[in-house]
Structure 1
Amino acid sequence: MSCIRFNTPAQRAQMKAMAPSMITAEQAAELHPAPEVTDSKIARIRLLASDANPKIRESVASNHHTPVDVFEALANDPDDGVRACVARNEHAPCDVLRMLVQDPSDTVRGFLAINFFIPDDAMSTLSEDDSATVQRLVRWKRELADV
């Protein structure tokens, strides 16, 4: 099942007509501020990063508040899904993203290729990747940037 949604012209017109009455992201943030990041939250993140369940580790790898050393450890996780979550996390440090350029998984390198926060040198390496999938994703991202 695809997560891409194609709206009809009528649906787009209806959404456009409703837009003025909708709440903005800024208004929503003011009404419902994010909870403070506390030392206990960081401690929980560290604890969950070593959980036996890779899905739990994926949630840590996707978190915006994951500490650098935890990102580094998760970038070396034996599970491809965990490493893929690090690769697509826009808050992962550049040095951690660079580590993943040589990952054995096409999926990890593919997610890395579409992360808009990947350093230029890492993107250059990915543009020469042996995987046709990774190369297509690199070209796709470049085309998006040119639009």
Structure 2
Amino acid sequence: MSVRRSSNYTPERIAHASPDERLEAATDPHTPFEILHALAQLPGSHNARVRGAVVAHPSLSVETLVFMADDEETSIRRTVAGHLNTPTDVVNRLAFDVDQSVRTFALSNPNIDPGVLRVCVSDPTVEVAIAKNPETPGDVLVTLAGSARAEVRLLVAKHDNLNDDVFNILVNDSDVKVINALHVP
């Protein structure tokens, strides 16, 4: 039984397909969203590769992203956390995931609520992710400008949301790379 472009393939039949057929369906750009959603619901670590292909699919629906945010596999949650179509409430929740890498992807997602960034900025393990987020607000950048890590301060110096307060902090930085990266706000 071939999954690829099969007009009679249903979500019910996908449950009984072979692992290779499931993976083929998950990677086929023509697979309809209802089949992708059925594939996303396959439990167990033996289906993690299929779910990984689903979460990377170009036609993935928001509904399926929301469903996959609770996946048992860290790699799936991490991809959902960084996906630009993931709704803000889901990204916000994933910013507090038990896994550090999931939190990092969520905090670098521009869809995250700025309030979550304000809460998490005090955690030095996620400073880089917050500094890389193009939507990080100026008040959070002010906090990051005081980071002990030059890597973080350098990202802040290059940030598009750099404001006068951040500039005034970093203009006297101990690292010349940070100072050289500054642009006038």
Superposed pair shares fold, TM > 0.5:
yes
Please tell me whether the aligned partners of residues 66 and 86 of structure 2 are also in contact (alpha carbons under 8 angstroms).
Answer: no
SS class of match (1:118)? coil
Computing the radius of gyration over CA atoms, which structure comes out larger, 1 or 2?
2
1:90, 1:98 → 2: CA distance?
13
Matching residue of 2:41: 50
**Aligned partner (choices 87, 95, 101) of residue 101 of structure 1:** 95
Q: CA deviation at 1:45?
A: 1.2
Structure 1 residues 96 and 140, CA gap change in structure 2 (3 angstroms): closer
Please tell me whether the aligned partners of residues 40 and 68 of structure 2 are also in contact (alpha carbons under 8 angstroms).
Answer: yes
Equivalent residues, number:
108
Tell me whether 1:136 sits opposite 2:121 in the alignment: no
Structure 1 residues 66 and 126, CA gap change in structure 2 (3 angstroms): farther
Please tell me whether the aligned partners of residues 101 and 125 of structure 1 are also in contact (alpha carbons under 8 angstroms).
Answer: no
Instruction: Report the identity percentage.
Output: 22
Mapping of 1:8-23 within 5 angstroms? none
TM-score, length of structure 1 as denominator length: 0.61
Please tell me whether the aligned partners of residues 84 and 110 of structure 2 are also in contact (alpha carbons under 8 angstroms).
Answer: yes
**Aligned partner (choices 59, 69, 74) of residue 80 of structure 1:** 74
Please tell me whether the aligned partners of residues 61 and 83 of structure 1 are also in contact (alpha carbons under 8 angstroms).
Answer: no
Runs of 4+ in structure 1 off by over 4 angstroms are: none
SS class of match (1:104)? coil
SS class of match (2:66)? helix
Return 5+ residue gaps in structure 2 as ranges.
Answer: 1-28, 137-155, 163-182
Q: CA deviation at 1:43?
A: 1.1
Q: CA deviation at 1:103?
A: 0.3
Return 5+ residue gaps in structure 1 as ranges.
Answer: 1-36
**CA root-mean-square deviation:** 2.5
Please tell me whether the aligned partners of residues 62 and 86 of structure 2 are also in contact (alpha carbons under 8 angstroms).
Answer: yes
Q: CA deviation at 1:64?
A: 4.9
TM-score, length of structure 2 as denominator length: 0.50
Cα offsets for 1:11-36 (capped at 9, x unmatched)? xxxxxxxxxxxxxxxxxxxxxxxxxx
Q: Which amino acid aligns with 2:55?
A: A
